Structure 1
Amino acid sequence: MIIFPIIILISFVLYIYYKVMLVKSRDPLEQSYMNSKAKVFLGIFVFFFGINQYLYYETQLSLFIGILFLVIGGFQLRLGMKMTRHYRNEFRKHRA
């Protein structure tokens, strides 16, 4: 399946992009917002990496490691989404 490596690559590139933008920014609120967006893409990366590794190896060990990656990636994605919503609202209040 070619879709999982594509999603993994895109999410990794976007994670690096938001981390670089985090360093370039001077505003602490904007830095927090960029960090939360980076967490979302890190969660997507880890989640789909776990799926891809199980589909590639198809062993019992890769199943357990894949489930662990799914849980960690899902938690990171959920936390990043909550932080992104919070900081997006704060960013809009700050701009207005």
Structure 2
Amino acid sequence: MLIFSTLILVSLILYIYYKVNITRTRDRLTQLYFNGKARICLGSFVFFFGINQYLFYETKLSLYIGIVFLVLGGMQMYFGFKSSRHYKNEYQKQEAASN
């Protein structure tokens, strides 16, 4: 259970880190890339929170709620990964064109 608590805390801190970095940069492409990374961290937070709550309570209700959290967290991680990979490639193309 300590492992999931640590993963929850780390993913929450990384989510806040990426959201703050979005406000600090002016480049739209970098903002979209950081937003994709933030979505990955938010998805992992929700995912691990769902696992942790089921392991803590071990009831049917917490199982159903945990499954919903797993699905929502997995979707956030998937779409965040796709988004960050796409904008990373676009950023590399932009850098290659400017050089």
TM-score range, shorter chain: over 0.9
Matched with 1:10 is 10
The aligned residue for residue 53 of structure 2 is: 53
Q: Distance in 2 between matches of 1:94 and 1:13?
A: 30
Gaps spanning 5+ residues in structure 2: where?
A: none
**Pairs aligned (count):** 96
With the length of structure 2 as denominator, give the TM-score of the two structures: 0.95
Q: Give the superposition deviation at 1:95.
A: 1.4
| Cα distance in 2 between the residues matched to 1:55 and 1:78 | 24
Residue identity matched to 1:44: S
Identity percentage of aligned residues: 60
What residue is the counterpart of 2:20 in the other structure? 20
Equivalent-residue separation in structure 1 for 2:59 and 2:83 (angstroms): 35
Tell me which amino acid in the other structure corresponds to 1:85: R
Which 4+ runs in 1 deviate beyond 4 A? none
Higher Cα radius of gyration: 2
CA RMSD of aligned residues (A): 0.5
1:43 matched residue in structure 2? 43
Alignment-mate amino acid for residue 46 of structure 2: V
- Residue 74 of structure 2 is matched in structure 1 by 74
The aligned counterpart of 2:84 is 84
Structure 1 gap segments, 5+ residues each: none
Show CA shifts across 1:10-29 (max 9, x none): 00000000000000010000
